[in-house]
A = this chain, B = another copy of it.
Amino acid sequence: MTVLDKFLHGDQSALARLISFIENREDGYKRLLARLYPLSGNALRFGFTGPPGAGKSSLVNAVARRLVADGKRVGIIAVDPSSPFTGGALLGDRIRMNELPTDGSVYMRSMATRGSSGGLAAATNNVAVALDAFGFDYVLIETVGVGQVELDIIDTCDTVVVVLVPESGDAVQALKAGLMEIADIFAVNKADRPGARNIIAALQNMLEIKAEHSPWKWPVVPTEAIHDKNIDTLLEQILAHVAYSRESGLFERHRREQIRKKIFAILATQLKAAMEEKLNVKADLDHIVTRIYQGETDPYTVGDELLKLTQSE
């Protein structure tokens, strides 16, 4: 049996190998994805984002356990580009794995691709396709909500939970900064801490205005992930969002838009590679770079000239 056959038969070690294959963009990974893609599309994808220390991992674990208790199978992708500084990723993985069922109902994958060749958002999306194709009912994606790449990642989810904590004192800032646009649900985790009421009230105040002309009323759910408190309510709200999203047509529109973006991203990558190859053959790039380096011209003027060259046969 090939690794792909084993994957199709539900072998998790084959899954792990194929994910590595995809993540490392090994030769043939696109063909593999082309095989897996039509098998995907069944899993619901939920994103969890928020500041470091908000307890996202615990919350995602708690949600996963809750789903498993309902007989569902769950894949988790944990994206932590900040791990090099905290050194937490590896140790954290071990701790969080202990919290998860070991009967194969949950599979957890860390993406620690910092310093790699980039394309983290694309890689995360590809891994989600693999988990989806493998047959998980839900794919939970967890990432620190800072930076454009993280926004791109979270944008590939059907429903997005923004996780805040009482200490953040950041509700207003978070909303101002564009998180509002990606959040479908707010979880105020560690809700037993002082200040929880304040941040919930502040959030509700702001959301009231936003929700005035919207059929979706953004819920704010207090949670205590490590005590498994209110996870039911959070999950209910997530599923309510999925139901609203499906009924309103938002779900399909959103997924179609994701497909469209994916096509454009694939094409852009290929065009870029083709362009670089063509320029390396056709243009005297060294000479052009020298002229720019010496201040005789600039990359924008040169860009216009080269564009014509790349478009000629």
Contact = CB atoms under 8 A, between A and B. Distances in A.
Nearest to A295: B38
A9 interface: no
Interface string A21-35: 000000000110110
A195 interface: no
A260 interface: yes
Given A148-B118, A255-B293, A174 B85 contact: yes
A228 interface: no
Give me the 8 closest cross-chain CB pairs, A-B, nearest first. A115-B178, A84-B177, A37-B298, A87-B173, A266-B303, A51-B85, A34-B300, A82-B146
A289 B149 contact: no
Interface string A148-169: 1111100000000000000011
Given A114-B148, A285-B260, A299-B266, A173 B83 contact: yes
A271 B169 contact: no
Identical copies of this chain, number: 2
A276 interface: yes
Contacts of A168: 85
Most buried by B among A33, A170, A263, A296: A263
Contact of A146 (B147, B252, B263): B147
Contact of A178 (B51, B114, B263, B310): B114
9 contacts: A31-B300, A81-B147, A85-B170, A85-B173, A115-B177, A147-B150, A260-B285, A267-B306, A274-B311
Contact of A147 (B114, B266, B303): B114
Contacts of A272: 264, 268, 271
Given A81-B146, A260-B289, A300-B30, A310 B267 contact: yes
A256 interface: yes
Interface residues of A, number: 80
Given A170-B86, A177-B115, A298 B34 contact: yes
Query: Would you call the interface of chain A mostly helix, strand, loop, or mixed?
Result: helix
Nearest to A34: B300
- Most B C-beta atoms less than 10 A away, residue of A115, A181, A298, A311: A298
Interface in A232-268: 252, 255-256, 259-260, 262-264, 266-268
A288 interface: yes
B300 A37 contact: yes
A282 to B, nearest CB: 13
A293 B253 CA distance: 10
A47 interface: no
B271 A310 contact: yes
Interface in A32-51: 33-34, 37-41, 50-51
Interface string A50-61: 110000000000
B84 A179 contact: yes
A69 interface: no
